[in-house]
Amino acid sequence: MKLNELSDNPGAAKKRTRVARGPGSGKGKMGGRGIKGQKSRSGVAIKGYEGGQMPLYQRLPKRGFNKPNRREFAVINLGLIQKFIDDGKIDAKAAIDEDALIASGLVRRKRDGIRVLAKGDVTAKMNITVTGASKSAIEAVEKAGGSLTVAAPKAEASAE
18-65 pLDDT, tens digit each = 999 999 989 999 999 999 988 888 877 677 777 788 888 889 999 999
Q: Is residue 56 part of a domain?
A: no
Is residue 38 a part of any domain in this protein?
A: no
pLDDT at 157: 47
Let me know if residue 125 belongs to a domain: yes
> Is residue 143 included in any domain, yes or no?
yes
Give CA–CA dist 80/94, Å, rounded: 17
- Please check whether residue 11 lies inside any domain of the structure: no
Split at pLDDT 50, 70, 90, the class of 145 is confident
- pLDDT average, residue stretch 80-87: 88
Domain CATH for 102: 3.100.10.10
Q: How far apart are CA 101 and CA 110, in angstroms?
A: 9
Is 98 inside a domain boundary? yes
For residues 89 and 146, give the distance between their C-alpha atoms in angstroms, rounded to a whole number. Answer: 18
pLDDT of residue 160: 46
pLDDT at 91: 83
pLDDT digits (tens, 9 = 90+) for 90-119: 888 888 888 888 888 888 888 888 899 988
- Per the structure, the complete domain to which residue 108 belongs is given by 74-150
> Is there a domain that residue 13 lies in?
no
pTM above 0.85, yes or no: no
User: How many domains does the chain fold into?
Assistant: 1
